[in-house]
Amino acid sequence: MSTTQQKTPILRKRLILSALIPVFLGLVLAPSVKAKDLEIQVGIVQRFGEEKNDEITLSSTKGDILTLRFADRNGQTQTLQTDKVKLQVVNQPLQALALSERIVLGSYATFETAEDSANQWKAKGIEVEITQPERWEVWAKRDVYETPLLRRFLLQSLKAQGFDLPILETEILSQTLQPTFTVNGKRYSQNNLEISAGSSLIQVGVENNESRVYGGSLKLQPNSYGTYTLVNQVPLETYLRGVVPHEIGHGAPDNAIAAQTIIARTYALRNLRRFQADNYQLCADTHCQVYYGLSQTNSRADRAIAQTKGLVLTYQNELVDALYSSTTGGITARFSDVWNGEERPYLKPVIDAPNQVWNLSQQSLADEAAFRRFIGMRDGFNETGRKVFRWNRKGTLDTLNDDLKEYLTKRKHPLANFTTIQRMEITKRSPSGRILTMAIQTDKGMLELYKNEIRSCFSVPRSTLFYIEPVYDRDKQLTGYSFVGGGFGHGVGLSQFGSYNLANLGWSPQQILAFYYPGTTLQPLNNSIVFWKDR
Per-residue pLDDT of the chain (535 residues; tens, 9 = 90+): 333 333 333 333 333 333 333 333 333 333 333 334 799 999 999 999 998 889 999 999 999 999 999 998 888 899 999 999 999 999 999 999 999 999 999 999 999 999 999 999 999 999 999 999 999 999 999 999 999 999 999 999 999 999 999 999 999 999 999 999 999 889 999 889 999 999 999 999 987 778 999 999 999 999 999 999 999 999 999 999 999 999 999 999 999 999 999 999 999 999 999 999 999 999 999 999 999 999 899 999 999 999 999 999 999 999 999 999 999 999 999 999 999 999 999 999 999 999 999 999 999 999 999 999 999 999 999 999 999 999 999 999 999 999 999 999 988 899 999 999 999 999 999 999 999 999 999 999 999 999 999 999 999 999 999 999 999 999 999 999 999 999 999 999 999 999 999 999 999 999 999 999 999 999 999 999 999 987 6
Longest dimension (CA), the chain: 76
Q: Do residues 441 and 430 lie in contact, with contact meaning Cβ atoms separated by under 8 Å?
A: no
97 within some domain: yes
pLDDT for res 535: 63
Of the three residues 188, 207, 226, the one that is the final residue of a domain is: 226
pLDDT for res 174: 96
pLDDT for res 319: 98
User: Is 238 in the same domain as 162?
Assistant: no
Distance separating alpha carbons of residues 458 and 51, to the nearest angstrom:
26
User: Is 305 in the same domain as 424?
Assistant: no
Domain extent for 436: 391-485
User: Is 191 in the same domain as 222?
Assistant: yes
374 within some domain: no
Q: Do residues 66 and 83 lie in contact, with contact meaning Cβ atoms separated by under 8 Å?
A: yes
Report angle CA 493, 371, 488 to the nearest 5 degrees: 40
User: Is 81 in the same domain as 138?
Assistant: yes
pLDDT for res 114: 97
358 within some domain: no
Cα 207 to Cα 158, 181, 428: the distances in Å are 44, 16, 45
Helix (H, G, I), strand (E, B) or coil at 38: coil
Residues, the chain? 535
Note the helical H segments in 364-417.
368-375, 397-410
Distance separating alpha carbons of residues 437 and 106, to the nearest angstrom:
19
User: Is 62 in the same domain as 211?
Assistant: yes
371 within some domain: no
User: Is 57 in the same domain as 181?
Assistant: yes
490 within some domain: no
Of the three residues 205, 226, 247, the one that is the final residue of a domain is: 226
Phi-psi region of 411 (alpha: psi -120 to 50; beta: other; left: phi over 0): alpha
DSSP 8-class letter at 343: P
User: Is 287 in the same domain as 414?
Assistant: no
Distance separating alpha carbons of residues 260 and 242, to the nearest angstrom:
13
Distance separating alpha carbons of residues 524 and 515, to the nearest angstrom:
19
User: Is 219 in the same domain as 313?
Assistant: no
pTM value surpassing 0.85: yes
Q: Do residues 261 and 236 lie in contact, with contact meaning Cβ atoms separated by under 8 Å?
A: no
Contact partners, residue 90, CB within 8 Å, separation at least 6: 177, 178, 180, 189
User: Is 182 in the same domain as 68?
Assistant: yes
Of the three residues 167, 201, 226, the one that is the final residue of a domain is: 226
pLDDT for res 306: 97
pLDDT for res 52: 85
Question: Looking at the DSSP assignment, which residues form a beta bridge with residue 220?
Answer: 193, 230
User: Is 76 in the same domain as 149?
Assistant: yes
141 within some domain: yes
DSSP 8-class letter at 331: B
User: Is 118 in the same domain as 208?
Assistant: yes
333 within some domain: no
- Number of domains within the chain: 3
Neighbours of 34 (CB within 10 A): 13
Distance separating alpha carbons of residues 437 and 432, to the nearest angstrom:
14
Say how far residue 442 (Cα) sits from the centre of its chain: 31
Distance separating alpha carbons of residues 260 and 81, to the nearest angstrom:
39
Report angle CA 525, 531, 535 to the nearest 5 degrees: 155
Contact partners, residue 467, CB within 8 Å, separation at least 6: 368, 371, 372, 375, 426, 483, 484, 485
pLDDT for res 21: 30
Neighbour-count burial for 201-218, b at 16+ CB within 10 Å, e otherwise: bbbbbbeeeeebbbbbbb
67 within some domain: yes
User: Is 260 in the same domain as 186?
Assistant: no
* AA letter at 329: G
